[in-house]
Amino acid sequence: MHERAGTPALPEDLIDVDEVVSAYYDRVPDVADPAQQVAFGTSGHRGSSLDSAFNEAHIVATTAAIVEYRRAQGIDGPLFIGRDTHALSEPAWRTALEVLAAAGVHTSVDARDSYTPTPAVSHAILRANGAGTSGGVRTEGPGRADGIVVTPSHNPPRDGGFKYNPPHGGPADSDATSVIAARANEILRTGWEQVERMPFERAVASEHVSRHDYLTAYVDDLVNVIDVEAIRKAGVRIGADPLGGASVEYWAAVGERHGLDLTVVNPRVDPRWSFMTLDWDGKIRMDCSSPYAMASLREKMRADGGPAPFDVATGNDADSDRHGIVTPDGGLMNPNHYLAVAIEYLFSHRPDWPAGAAIGKTLVSSALIDRVATGLGRRLIEVPVGFKYFVPGLIDGSVGFGGEESAGASFLRKDGTVWTTDKDGILLALLAAEVIAVTGRSPSELHADLVERYGASSYARIDAAATKEQKAKLGRLQPADVAATELAGEPITDRLVAAPGNGAAIGGLKVTTENAWFAARPSGTEDVYKIYAESFRGPEHLALVQEEAKKVVDAALGG
């Protein structure tokens, strides 16, 4: 833990925006260095221009690869593109438009020349492909739309990010990203400078670029997924903190359009994020699930010991795909706690959802969700880490809610049809206000009810050292590699290397007992593996689970 975690950023913590942007254009990656190649993680390619990992060459090559991919897939409809508030997002957006226009791709940009949250891009793709109509979402055939979001999500200000959303509107799966990344790196090696581009001013004025009002389309449609009338009638006081991200204008529009008592507590946009408090490691990071990054909003809710100024305060990360919920009585809610409350509420207050609609969770999310699902009599679908695994179920309505432990989720419209297939932090923040309006109680109070019914859990994530060879072996483990029969005093009930919900490889190991579990997954960027663990027998038992988890994994790895 950094000694200044949770304290305001100082001048020495801030990036030099000119330096970061200049490096984007001036530095050329060394394609022989894996750290400087295009690499798609669960949320696209990310890196910093200062490390030669996110530069003009990367975006030219990646956009050209996307153009080739969509042609090969027969995707010939509009491409919706949005960007967040990071310093590198606008330069990358401009570069992408130059390549797309030169390739004759019809591209829809924001009508306000402003920022676009990830969920608004997903919403636009789905609507263009028939969502909300009797024909349903078209994922095959001519005229299909897709999209690009230029964002590194909650990453520090020095970073940039670039992700592709296919016609299903959600994050691209590895069948697409592996092809795009391989082709992009080939273009980097063989001459990215040869990729045809149209000068930016010509590109945006060309017949290939049109303007789409993402904000109005998204904000007006909220009445079909959230009970905004209940929020308005109850007079729920909402304090929304965009954390300097793409949702800043959206929150103002939500309040005005729907007549809500909503205050944008911090309307500032600053690519240095000078108003942020430092995260746990001393970095500026727009992680709305972190109590350290959310320290200023938490302080506003304390109101010097007097009455809280809002019934609920919410935060979003830079591209608004994550949510943070602050209640007057409970501070910043643990994401797992809020997901459980959201699930319990939604499946009790959406009568038009399909009777068989399941609950989706990632395998490192709290087992409290499992117990809530059992109590609701709903099927639980447990998938590997990655929101992409919820996409098919959200599309066809077989999954009512999909959520990740990292504070990302989305759910169906009130009529049981798809809303977004990417994470929607604005939606989950508004749901907290609906919960208060309808139940008269805060989400943290409702979580206390769940604890009384299903038990209190202790949950944490820690890191353990591992070599590259050990990380590779961890990703290939089989259940038979785990010789242990007990974990922290309880018999092991399951050893998982594939997710029970869809059979997909989890890239690691999960071990369960009646009252506890741990999951170990290799880090993609550091020489460590991550241990997620939970116990329903208290924090001391959790510590024992964590300790024994290391021994179980080390033994399986031959350490």
In the three-class reduction of DSSP (H, G, I as helix; E, B as strand; rest coil), residue 185 is classed as helix
Helices 443-454, 425-439: inter-axial angle, 10-degree rounding: 80
Is residue 153 annotated as part of the catalytic site, yes or no?
yes
Name, in order, each residue with C-beta under 8 angstroms of 289's C-beta and a sequence gap of 6 or more.
322, 323, 324, 332, 335, 406, 407
The torsion angles phi and psi of 231, rounded to 5 degrees, stand at -60, -45
Q: 241 and 314 in contact (C-beta within 8 Å)?
A: yes
Catalytic residue, from 48, 108, 153, 320: name it.
Answer: 153
What value does the CA radius of gyration of the chain take, rounded to a whole number of Å? 23
Could you tell me which of 530, 533, 511 has the C-alpha nearest to residue 521?
530
Q: 19 and 133 in contact (C-beta within 8 Å)?
A: no
Name, in order, each residue with C-beta under 8 angstroms of 32's C-beta and a sequence gap of 6 or more.
none
Cα 395 to Cα 132: distance, rounded to the nearest angstrom:
11
132: exposed, middle or buried (Cβ count in 10 Å: 0-12, 13-18, 19+): middle
Cα 19 to Cα 26: distance, rounded to the nearest angstrom:
10
Name, in order, each residue with C-beta under 8 angstroms of 67's C-beta and a sequence gap of 6 or more.
99, 100, 103, 105
Name, in order, each residue with C-beta under 8 angstroms of 10's C-beta and a sequence gap of 6 or more.
none
Cα 201 to Cα 273: distance, rounded to the nearest angstrom:
29
Query: What residues are labeled active site?
Result: 153
